[in-house]
Amino acid sequence: MPTFPRSYPMSGGDDRHSYINNSSYQIAAINSVGDKTRQCIIEKLDLPLNSDLGSFRIADYGCSIGPNTFHVVQSIIDAVKFKQLKDKNEKSLMPLEFQVFFNDQPNNDFNTLFRTQPPSSELEYFSAGVPGSFHGQVLPRNTIHIGHTSYTTHWLSNVPEHVDDKNSPAWNKNYIQCNNSIEEVTKSYKVQFTKDMKLFLEARAEEIVPGGLMIVLGQCLPDGVSLFKTYQGILVDTIGDCLMDMAKLGLTSEEKIGLFTIPAYFPQFSELKTEIEKNRSFTIETMESVHHPLEDIPLSNHFLIAMFRAILSTIIKEHFGEDVIDELFDRVAKKLGKYPINFKECEKNVTYFILLKRNE
């Protein structure tokens, strides 16, 4: 089972173009909700921002990449400081002391993250790395005042049961993702997603103090839309087709492809809301679709290939070996050059912004 770093799985350091595309996509989304995040903190954070609180603690549970992570954290800190000044009283004259926890999988290199951190002379907070999957509790009970995560909750803790079993009706055949084209496969993925969302929310309910906030930014599907109708779904299915072409040439095997499934599930908007509402520890203060700035920019097959190479290279390498990467994405480029994605006919994913408040 592959594990995932702070961002989508990244390819090697030499794949600079892919990194920039993937990072740019995420920072554009994060920036687009910056004002909304700030306003939500100002309006919904009811904690006493004074010396009685002690240190103000923030946790970032991914998936922001390098500098994006620090940008998010600083934006949260700025909003909290503004609220403190806005609501100031005698006890709040003392500046708050901030502590930030960066959560990551234990086999990822925290030094990669911290090497991109601003100099200590410029930081307004103390930082620490926290290893562990966010599908479980990674911090002590009632310690976090604001949690944040972006583009993470569609990643599953495990590949769903039976999707790689040829004897099961949930076998995903030669597909490498849940594209919603096989009903039993979709059901299996949804079962795993439901389990993982429950674990994620239960863990955050333990860690976040009563009255604290959890900010979630991500992507899902509109109600009634299947992933194979989106350009993201088409692109990943094309990668799967190219793997099959390579198997026919002996460059990999159909058996390996049959055992390879991306552990990610994009729920429909109403599905996501239902799973959150099941957890009674949080109140949904805000849950809405937001506009992603790149929706207004004409997409290109080249851009998508670079971005999805960044997203998927790590787990492809782990399963098929590093030698297949260049050959695979060269084939994807050629196939899309011959049969380009018609973006006008594709359904669009929903970018969502969620603000949860921990109940008293």
pLDDT digits (tens, 9 = 90+) for 219-270: 999 999 999 999 999 999 999 999 999 999 999 998 899 889 999 999 999 9
- Note the pLDDT tens digit of each residue in 288-321: 998 776 676 777 888 889 889 988 988 999 999 9
User: Does pLDDT of 332 surpass 60?
Assistant: yes
Q: Look up residue 14 and give its DSSP letter.
A: T
Q: What is the dihedral of CA 166, 198, 349, 290, to 10 degrees?
A: -170
Q: In whole angstroms, what is the distance from residue 27 CA to residue 67 CA?
A: 9
Tokens read off for 171: 């076998």
pLDDT value, residue 91: 57
pLDDT value, residue 1: 31
Give the pLDDT band (50/70/90) at residue 93: low
In a domain, 16, yes or no: no
Q: In whole angstroms, what is the distance from residue 248 CA to residue 270 CA?
A: 41
Per DSSP bridges, beta strands 208-220 and 350-358 are: antiparallel
In a domain, 303, yes or no: yes
Longest dimension (CA), the chain: 75
In a domain, 175, yes or no: yes
Helix, strand and coil percent figures for the chain, each rounded to 5: 45, 20, 35
Asked if 22 and 10 count as a contact pair (C-beta separation under 8 A), the reply is yes
Give the pLDDT band (50/70/90) at residue 95: confident
- Note the pLDDT tens digit of each residue in 106-150: 877 788 888 888 888 888 999 999 999 999 999 999 999 999 999
Q: In whole angstroms, what is the distance from residue 351 CA to residue 32 CA?
A: 11
In a domain, 5, yes or no: no
Tokens read off for 200: 């994620």
In a domain, 74, yes or no: yes
The string of DSSP codes covering 62-103 is S---THHHHHHHHHHHHHHHHHHHHT--GGG-SPPPEEEEEE
327 membership: H or E segment, kind and range: helix 324-338
Q: Domain residues for 49? A: 21-358
Q: Scanning the structure block, which residue is given the tokens 């390819």? A: 11
Report the length, in residues, of the chain.
360
pLDDT value, residue 296: 67
Least Cα distance to 233 among 307, 179, 283 occurs for 179
User: Which CATH number characterizes residue 196's domain?
Assistant: 3.40.50.150
Mean pLDDT of the region 21-36: 69
Tokens read off for 239: 């990668």
Give the pLDDT band (50/70/90) at residue 25: low
- The most confident of 31-45, 156-170, 194-208, by mean pLDDT: 194-208
Asked if 151 and 217 count as a contact pair (C-beta separation under 8 A), the reply is yes
In a domain, 129, yes or no: yes
- Whether the model pTM is above 0.85: yes
Select the more confidently predicted residue: 189 or 91. Answer: 189
In a domain, 307, yes or no: yes
Mean pLDDT of the region 25-31: 69
Q: How far is CA 104 from CA 129, 133, 157, 250, in A?
A: 7, 7, 13, 37
- Note the pLDDT tens digit of each residue in 181-210: 999 999 999 999 999 999 999 999 999 999
- Note the pLDDT tens digit of each residue in 120-129: 888 899 999 9
Count: domains in the chain: 1
pLDDT value, residue 5: 37
- Note the pLDDT tens digit of each residue in 47-74: 988 777 789 999 999 866 667 788 889 9
In a domain, 127, yes or no: yes
Residues with Cβ within 8 Å of 344's Cβ and at least 6 positions away in sequence, in order, are none
Q: In whole angstroms, what is the distance from residue 215 CA to residue 82 CA?
A: 18
Mean pLDDT of the region 151-180: 91
